[in-house]
Amino acid sequence: MAGVVHPQFFGSFPQYRRTATGNSVDVASMKLLKETYNAAEDKNVVASPLGVLTLLSLYASGAARENRDEIVRYLGAHDYSELEGSYARLCQQYDYMDPKFLALANKVLVSDKLDLQYQFLSTAHYYRSDVDNINFGDPKAAADAINEWSARKTAGKISNPVSESDIDPEAAVALLNVINFQGHWHLPFNASNTKEQEFHADRSTSELKPMMHLEQPLVYRDSPELGARLVELPYKEFQFRMIIILPNEINGLQSVLDKVAENGILDDVFKMDSGNTKVVLDLPKFEIKTKLNLNDLLPKVGVSRIFEEAAPGIVKGYGVAVARALQEAFVKIDEEGATAGAFTGFVAVPVSADFRPPPPIHFKADHPFLFAILHEDVVLFAGTYSH
């Protein structure tokens, strides 16, 4: 017998548990991502489906009959009581996150000519949402107030999500969500290893992109069901991780999106190995900011009544419909912060003298791919990088 030393993590990769909430968020999120991608001219997109789903759940508390049922069906719950409990718990959990890492903020604005129903106001506070009256009749002042709130909640990262033209002077209710994310890698990317490499936007188009490089044992899966390979990048922040889903074909992203919109990504995520596969990873640096017009997107995933039918439980004496629903999401992926979370150890293991370690897996993200950022089993962000 002879001894060799293999670089590994001390301990093991975090263990995750699937939940009913995670499953419902998963499928609803991927449906929204597919429609966001299909509708976008710029195919680099990012969204926080959780923010959208949370606001839908909150709005459902004041809706009735088919209006509410439509939301419950899309969010994959058995009934509204289950829906409310699940999303309220998530809101309370994420409200305690460090805003320097994750800022997720919801806001409900109601015309200053209307008073909120007590039950809706109580539910909004339960969801950790800001709720205010506002004068939509002054679009510039309303836009300024929204932008100030957004900048404050995201430490200035998202400071102008709306313009005066976004404000309808006749609006009764607006649902808003802003997201900012900045993680710190558990595994360091060395900036000196970042090199310009070709990225293939399609079979006939390529351009040079700065590609980060990493060689480490990572959680990995080759999925014949998706026609793609998956790799997990853990964050220093406990139970947070990014999943990269790279189609096998250069033009395979649309096919992967169609599949995950039907079944979500968690089935494949929970089939990934335990982190013993050495992966040689090349991943582009990127920064994406996306504005979502939910008035257009939500009907495509089966939620349209909130814009058409009066919800009786939101304001006193009136039924109201949503006039404008939007989101701005932002994600930045680079080498920054990696060394602060560096986590590398050495474990000696006895092996036979003729032992040869298995060859590493090469995972070169040099064509369009899907990414998702999860906390435990809940999709927080999802997006595509295409060029």
What the block records as the tokens of 358 is 């298995």
More confident residue, 341 or 129: 129
Dihedrals phi, psi of 300, to nearest 5 degrees: -75, -20
- Report the chain's C-alpha Rg in angstroms: 22
As a residue count, the chain comes to: 387
What the block records as the tokens of 60 is 């459902």
Give DSSP secondary structure letters for 6-21: EEE-SS-PPP----HH
Indicate whether 382 pLDDT > 70: yes
Cα atoms in the 13 Å half-sphere on the side-chain side of 19: 14
Cα dist from 370 to 33, 228, 381, whole Å: 10, 10, 11
Q: What is the amino acid identity at position 176?
A: L
**Helix (H), strand (E) at residue 242:** strand 240-247
Report the pLDDT value the prediction gives residue 168, as an integer from 0 to 100: 81
Report the pLDDT value the prediction gives residue 355, as an integer from 0 to 100: 47
Q: What is the amino acid identity at position 369?
A: F
> Do 287 and 46 contact (CB within 8 A), yes or no?
no
The model's confidence at residue 311, banded by pLDDT at 50, 70 and 90, is confident
At residue 385, the 3 state secondary structure works out as strand
Q: Where are the alpha helices (DSSP H) in the chain?
A: 20-39, 49-60, 65-74, 80-95, 118-126, 139-153, 253-263, 266-269, 294-297
What structural domains and CATH numbers belong to the chain? 2-17+185-285+335-385 (2.30.39.10), 40-183+287-332 (3.30.497.10)
**What value, to the nearest 5°, has the Cα angle with vertex 86 and ends 159 and 320?**
60
Q: What is the mean pLDDT of the segment spanning 95-110?
A: 79
- Rounded CA separation 32/382 (Å): 9
> Do 71 and 63 contact (CB within 8 A), yes or no?
yes
Q: What is the mean pLDDT of the segment spanning 283-304?
A: 90
For residue 315, the cross-strand partners are 116, 318
Q: Any idea what DSSP says for residue 50?
A: H
Nearest to 47 by CA among 34, 63, 66, 60: 34
Q: What is the mean pLDDT of the segment spanning 246-259?
A: 96
Span of 133-137, 244-248, 354-358 with lowest mean pLDDT: 354-358
Give DSSP secondary structure letters for 144-188: HHHHHHHHHHTTTSS--S--GGG--TT-SEEEEEEEEE---BSSP
Q: What is the mean pLDDT of the segment spanning 285-314?
A: 89
What is the rounded (10 degree) CA torsion for 276, 279, 285, 291? -60
Q: What is the amino acid identity at position 102?
A: L
